[in-house]
Amino acid sequence: QSALTQPASVSGSPGQSITISCTGTSSDVGAYNYVCWYQLQAGKAPKLMISDVSNRPSGVSNRFSGSKSGNTASLTISGLQAEDEADYFCSSYTSSNTYVFGTGTKVTVL
């Protein structure tokens, strides 16, 4: 199972909005609404930010939102803050009854 494709890096200034894409295939992202997004910060365990394409777990800022179109899912961070600087990974359920993660995106707040 090949990894989902994400841009290596995305940057923005405080207060701006950024969007991270996650491109898969018709056998994973395009076939199911089981796309999740995770935030990884140094020294911390991953944190679930979005589930089921666009659902925000309790406690996650409403500045984070998710969407999907065809085989590509997206994570948008609005009102970018310094604390948002981290690596972000998408994941998807697949038609093989397995899961696959994305290649990861480093978000830098300028």
Partner 1 sequence: QVQLVQSGTEVKKPGASVKVSCKASGYTFTSYVIFWVRQAPGQRLEWMGWITADNGNTRYSQKFQGRATITRDTSASAAYMELSSLRSDDTAVYYCARERPGGGGALEYWGQGTLVTVSS
Give, in degrees to the nearest 5, the angle at Cα 103 between 71 and 23.
10
Decide if residue 99 touches partner 1 (CB under 8 A). yes
Residue 82 contacts partner 1 per CB under 8 A? no
From 12-20, 63-71, 74-82, 84-92, span contacting partner 1 (CB under 8 A)? 84-92
Stretch that binds partner 1, among 10-18, 38-46, 63-71, 77-85 (CB under 8 A): 38-46
CA distance 33 to 92: 8
Residue closer to partner 1 (CB basis): 71 or 92: 92
> Does residue number 20 form part of the binding site for partner 1 (CB under 8 A)?
no
CA dist 12 and 32 (Å) reads: 30
Among 20, 39, 56, 89, binds partner 1 (CB under 8 A): 89
Q: Which residues contact 4 (CB under 8 A, 6 or more apart)?
A: 22, 23, 24, 28, 29, 90, 91, 92, 100, 101, 102, 103
- Candidate residues 23, 39, 51, 71; the one interacting with partner 1 per rule CB under 8 A: 51
